[in-house]
Amino acid sequence: MDPEGFWGDIAGHFYWRKRWDKVLEWNFRDPKVEWFIGGRLNITENCLDRHLGSLGNKPAIIWEPNDPEEHHRVLTYRELHTKVVQFANVLKNNGVQKGDRVCLYMGMVPELAIAVLACARIGAIHSVIFGGFSAQSIADRLMDAQAEYVITCDGAYRGNKEIPLKSVIDDALVQCRFVKRVIVLTRTRTPVSMIKGRDVWWEDEIKKVETMGNPDCPAEEMDSEDPLFILYTSGSTGKPKGVVHTCAGYMVYTNYTFVNTFQYEPGDIHFCTADIGWITGHSYIVYGPLSAGATTLLFEGIPTWPDAGRFWEVVDKYKVNVLYTAPTAIRSLMGFGLGPLQGKQLSSLKVLGTVGEPINEEAWHWYNENIGKGRCPIVDTWWQTETGGVLISNMAGVTPAKPSYATLPMPGVQPVLVDENGKEITGNNVSGNLCIRFPWPSIIRTTYGDHERCRTNYFSAYENMYFTGDGCYRDEEGNYRITGRVDDVLNVSGHRIGTAEVENAINMHAGVVESAVVGYPHDIKGQGIYCFVIFQGSHGDENLNRQDITQTVSRIIGPIAKPDKIQFVPGLPKTRSGKIMRRILRKIAEGELENLGDTSTLLDPAVVDEIKKGRL
């Protein structure tokens, strides 16, 4: 095996201002990983400029609005290029320079993709924040990244809701006086307050560039290892981590995995239903498809509005060939039965994909039979924000699928199972913690502003390996099946949420003495959030107290982290040294009230019975 030779050949298919001198240098001790060393490039030249000759008139982005009555939009590669250049000039006019951090808090509109690419064009580092995060979460991220520029919308549509994005940004910026400029795109015409000297309208800024005669904006020449973006994700501690990806490795790997996992063929319409606020949207709505010259579909709405047939309607409307979605969406749509599928053809579909969480067999078969009509391979793609692209998956129609298995690693990827002591578990039909032995081009480079955190989080648990945080089973034939997180991270509807983050938020409520949060199996969300709370609040109505706590979590983190269950308890099961025994709480939340294991080391074993009695 020769990974360097392999990736060097693949990288040769891109447009480089200067070819690299050396493919790879690495050690997992520091950690230090560098790919395509000495190479010079700009990812937007690979996503846009190089396609203009042959694909200029081809649709790059098809945008389906939230409201099916509103007109959709199509941007050809030429049009997208023009708009990216225009907005790149807007950024420059507003003082943004190479290396500056730009925070994007927008809905799923084409301008979000345009803003992402415009940042990359001038070498600014984008940090997209999902629209479901609160002002406090945004402020935390802005401070961590020291981002002086924000791009947002007046509001966003999601189903029958209107989210006042600019107003949330205004709340966040009360704490972030270092933000110099906020560029606001008009979408919903939600009333906003524009602060003099700080806030400007997207449309006005575009007009200024037009008055200047729409000058070109040559792409900034970047080093292979210059940062491309920061994306925050939850870990087992309270504070989200800014995962850093760099220009060349990320480009090569997302393109490679896009083309191979989905077996992309020129002309395919690719519909990834994720939000660009998550890594899936970065890699498989924006960079992967565009670097391959594909047509990517960007959908503003949600699967269940105006009704639960919306995905299928969109598939038929644009003759979608590849549909890539999350198991939670499949399970939720399954719940509506076959009614919403009436009259839908779905005959354009060739490949289906899933991502973000384990898919249960029932959902897999429903997807296969009712959506793929038994003739579309399903790829179950396992990967993470930190991995940048798909690491373990079957390849559509090339390698076999197995329901609920991600199956085999992508070429060049070397998974290892280890036990708690770090000893490798060899052979088949075994379970362990999933690690990766050798770097791939889009491996996390650092956590922004805190390299030591990157080391301790991912590279210190097991020597010379990247630790994923996932548990995994390897079957008789060597297929991998991801069984879920082994750290204190929840996966709620495919969204990563740290239990410590939720606990910190709950503990902010004045009436809360202490709390412990664990996950439990949830039919649709995959995992639900179960909170054990010691409460000494004023009013006696338990439900009101629950609502107040839920409201607090929504305020501190965002609506995506709202607890599913809140149980008030007299105490928490603690060891004599004061450590909460989460294992016990997890079992109770799961409904497994017998066999709680050894409780003799607890400070107060009686509290366990109380908690069991009060289980929701």
Give the separation between CA 396 and CA 399, rounded to whole angstroms: 7
Considering only 255, 491, 504, 550, the residue that binds ligand WTA (CB under 6 A) is 491
Rounded to 5°, angle at Cα 481 from 477 and 485: 150
Q: Which residues contact 148 (CB under 8 A, 6 or more apart)?
A: 100, 101, 178, 179, 180, 181
Q: Residue 351: what residue type?
A: V
**Contact positions with ligand WTA (CB under 6 A) in 231-270:** 233
* Cβ distance to ligand WTA smaller for residue 107 or 358: 358
Binding residues for ligand WTA restricted to 330-369, rule: CB under 6 A: 355-358
Residue 223 or 275 having the CB closest to ligand WTA: 275
Nearer to ligand WTA, 152 or 468 (CB): 468
Can you point out the beta strands (E) in 320-361?
322-325, 351-355
Q: Which stretch binds ligand WTA (CB under 6 A): 24-32, 140-148, 381-389, 606-614?
A: 381-389
- Write the DSSP assignment of 511-549 as a string of letters: TEEEEEEEEEEETTTEEEEEEEEEE--SS--HHHHHHHH
Rounded-to-integer distance, Cα 602 and Cα 270, Å: 54
Say what angle helices 606-613 and 582-590 make with each other, to 10 degrees. 30
Select 86 or 433, whichever has its Cβ closest to ligand WTA: 433
Which stretches of 557-605 are DSSP H helices? 582-590
**DSSP class of residue 457?**
I
| Burial (Cβ within 10 Å: 0-12, 13-18, ≥19) of residue 403 | middle
Smaller CB distance to ligand WTA: residue 356 or 537? 356
Question: Rounded to an integer, what distance in angstroms lies between the CA atom of residue 544 and that of residue 95?
Answer: 48
By CB under 6 A, tell whether 206 contacts ligand WTA: no
Please state the closest distance from residue 482 (CB atom) to ligand WTA, in A: 4
Determine, following the binding rule CB under 6 A, whether residue 469 of this chain makes contact with ligand WTA: yes
23 versus 454: smaller Cβ distance to ligand WTA: 454
Query: What CA dihedral angle connects 600, 601, 602 and 603, to 10 degrees?
Result: 110
Q: Which of 501, 560, 568 is nearest to 536 (CA)?
A: 568
Strand 161-163 and strand 156-158: pairing?
A: antiparallel
From the list 2-10, 178-186, 383-391, 547-555, the region that binds ligand WTA by CB under 6 A is 383-391
Rounded least distance, CB 393 to ligand WTA, Å: 7
Minimum distance, C-beta of residue 388 to ligand WTA, in the bound complex (Å): 9
Of 81, 496, 509, 587, which lies in the binding site for ligand WTA, with binding defined by CB under 6 A?
Answer: 496
Distance CA 559, CA 164 (A): 13
The one-letter code for the residue type at 346 is L
Q: Which stretch binds ligand WTA (CB under 6 A): 182-190, 275-283, 371-379, 567-575?
A: 275-283
Pick out residues in 160-199 that bind ligand WTA (CB under 6 A). none
364: its two tokens? 């897999």
Closer residue to ligand WTA, CB minimum distance, 325 or 384: 384
Site for ligand WTA in 471-490 (CB under 6 A): 482, 485
- Residues 424/417, Cβ–Cβ less than 8 Å: yes
- Taken in order 218, 35, 100, 60, the sign of the CA dihedral is positive
The minimum distance between CB 522 and ligand WTA, in angstroms, equals 15
Q: Which CB, 341 or 486, lies closer to ligand WTA? A: 486
- Identity of the residue, 123 or 558, whose beta carbon is nearer to ligand WTA in the bound complex: 558
Judged by CB under 6 A, which stretch of 48-56, 78-86, 376-384, 591-599 contacts ligand WTA? 376-384
* Residue of 137, 296, 385, 552 interacting with ligand WTA (CB under 6 A): 385
Q: How many Å apart are CA 512 and CA 529, to the nearest integer?
A: 17
Q: Which of positions 215-234 make contact with ligand WTA (CB under 6 A)?
A: 233
Binding flag, residue 406, ligand WTA (CB under 6 A): yes
| Contact status: 36 vs ligand WTA (CB under 6 A) | no
CB of 392 to ligand WTA, least distance (A): 8
Please enumerate in sequence order all residues whose Cβ is within 8 A of that of 555, keeping only pairs 6 or more positions apart, or say none: 134, 135, 136, 505
Residue choice 100, 268, 470, 501 for contact with ligand WTA (CB under 6 A): 470
State how far the Cα of 472 lies from the Cα of 103, in Å rounded to an integer: 35
Stretch that binds ligand WTA, among 211-219, 277-285, 441-449, 602-610 (CB under 6 A): 277-285
Q: Which is nearer to ligand WTA, 55 or 502 (CB)?
A: 502
Closer residue to ligand WTA, CB minimum distance, 149 or 229: 229
Q: Which residues bind ligand WTA (CB under 6 A)?
A: 233, 278-280, 355-358, 380-385, 406, 468-470, 482, 485, 491, 496
